[in-house]
Amino acid sequence: MTTQNTELIHPALTALSEDERLFRDSVYEFADREIRPVVRDMDEHAKIPRALVDKLFDLGVMGIEVPEAFGGAGASFFHAVLAVEALSRVDPSIGVLVDVQNTLVINALLRWGSDELKRRYLTKLAANAVGAYALSEAGSGSDAFALTTRAVDRGAEFVLTGRKLWITNGNEADIFIVFANANPESGYRGITAFLVEREFDGFTIGKKEDKLGIRASSTCELLFEECRIPRSNVLGEIGKGYKVAIETLNEGRIGIGAQMIGLAQGALDHAIRYTRERKQFGKAIAEFQAVQHQLARAATEIEAARLLVYNAGRLRDAGHPFLTEAAMCKIFSSEVAERVTSLAVNLFGGYGFVKDYPVEKLYRDAKIGQIYEGTSNLQLQTIAKQILG
């Protein structure tokens, strides 16, 4: 689909500045050219080729907020949102790779990293190093602070022991933000964030999960067996890792919202094209009012979700509170993605149920949106607490 046709599908994007629109369109054109031809192969083999990751670095989307002095684009958080949306229209697996890199890893380093950590790691993250964010554990999902990974203070270093699960980018990552409890007696106030390099002794990548959707995106187990971390690699303050986790995930949820609206738009793009081509009873099924109304409702829901995501991203960049807006955009966009991809499968009929056509993959990809970076129930609880005061 051309950029002109894209504009006709969602005209409310005139809310973007010209520079933002050009940026979004350039990322989408890259995705259409470089990613679309290999989407099915990546899904089947559950792997992102390193050559494609290198192209993402060359494009500049792996270091969007990194200051130019460190080799990054020096752009805004909102630009990261636009990039994730554009990439996810073609492949949500690539969208989440870029999302975690920017809205979680780089974002946390920018906010809590010492000058030394910024110099050491932001340059790498902007150039060729993939990042991952390691919070979840077997018994610590929605209850994010029930961590069992321990960090023992040995003076000049900490020694980490434990196991992390469901870590996005685990296979590709060179740099990990890892959360461990350095003072279990203090409960969540002992949680501390660390910068861990893939080559550190005692750190290994474990099992790679075989997933329903976003299969090209790696989701891995991380193992720490007496892994030694220099004291200088503490991110933020000792015992303040809970603050790093909470505040970074609030921003990360906007990124997942962007992934979901991109995914939904991609499914709608396919559905529109197919209904124009598919003929029944002597005419294209797009000419039937029942089909038109379903497409119209889907387009409306996507636009509503998009504006929620954009609003949350704008609030974040402006320095305004955005906790409620991030939760709202995340839950609504993930629900819209599931509904729209389901509709696309229905409109494709039998073809929608087979892998030769793209919508069954997007349908599988959509499910994770209501689970990771805070389940829908957690988002509802956040919203309820805010509106009830």
Residue 3 pLDDT > 50: no
156-176 pLDDT, tens digit per residue, is 999 999 999 999 999 999 999
Sign of CA dihedral 218, 377, 236, 122: positive
CATH 3.30.70.890 fits 243-387, yes or no: no
Find, among 340, 337, 315, the residue nearest to 326 by Cα: 315
Task: Name the CATH topology of 132-240.
Answer: Butyryl-CoA Dehydrogenase, subunit A; domain 2 (2.40.110)
* 143 pLDDT tier (thresholds 50, 70, 90): confident
Domains 3-130 and 243-387 share a fold: no
Q: Which CATH class is domain 3-130?
A: mainly alpha
Instruction: Kindly report the average pLDDT of the chain as a whole number.
Output: 95
93-139 pLDDT, tens digit per residue, is 999 999 999 999 999 999 999 999 999 999 999 999 999 999 999 99
Tokens of 66: 């990194």
Residue 221 pLDDT > 70: yes
Whole-number Cα distances in Å, 242 to 20, 254, 262, 324: 33, 19, 30, 19
Confidence at residue 2, expressed as pLDDT on a 0 to 100 scale: 37
As beta bridge partners, residue 145 has none
The residue extents of the domains of the chain are 3-130, 132-240, 243-387
Position 200, amino acid: F
CA dihedral 316, 322, 327, 329 (to 10 degrees): -60
Catalytic (active site) residue 373: yes
End-to-end CA distance of the chain: 46
User: What is the mean pLDDT of the segment spanning 27-35?
Assistant: 98
CA 7 to chain centre: 24
Tokens of 39: 């989407």
* 324 pLDDT tier (thresholds 50, 70, 90): very high
> Tokens 């990261």 map to which residue?
80
Residue 144 pLDDT > 80: no
Q: Enter the pTM of the model.
A: 0.95
- The secondary element (H helix, E strand) that includes residue 231 is none
User: What is the mean pLDDT of the segment spanning 352-364?
Assistant: 97
Find, among 323, 142, 319, 329, the residue nearest to 247 by Cα: 323
Give the CA radius of gyration of the chain: 21
